[in-house]
Amino acid sequence: DNLRATSPLFHADKIRKPLIVLQGANDPRVIKPESDEIVAAVRKNNGVVEYVVFDDEGHGFTKKVNEIRAYKAILDFLEQHLKGNAGSSNSGDGK
């Protein structure tokens, strides 16, 4: 019950802010099917999700080209979703 209570998957319906998920396809800790599930659950609830999968990475990015791609995706995501919102009433609670 504790795992269910803390798992984002079982609370995806409460996610209201745009979400970015960076996933290494070979990640042994956070396996890709788990990320697929959370992305699908958020989208099912009409949430906005940017999902970037790195086919040749595991947990953490070791290849420079993938690090650059990840940081670029993060910057683009932040620019798209935060630009012009500096004065908004964002509570920072992820809802």
| Helix extents (H) in the chain | 2-6, 32-44, 64-82
* Segments making up each domain of the chain, as ranges: 2-82
Distance CA 95, CA 90 (A): 9
**This prediction's pTM:** 0.81
Q: How far, in whole angstroms, is CA 70 from its chain's centroid?
A: 12
Distance CA 24, CA 30 (A): 8
Each residue of 17-53: pLDDT tens digit? 999 999 999 999 999 999 999 999 999 999 999 999 9
CATH of 2-82, one of 3.40.50.1820, 3.20.20.60, 3.40.50.300, 2.40.10.10: 3.40.50.1820
Which of 46, 47, 65 is closest to 57 using CA atoms? 65
Mean pLDDT value across the chain: 89
pLDDT of residue 86: 56
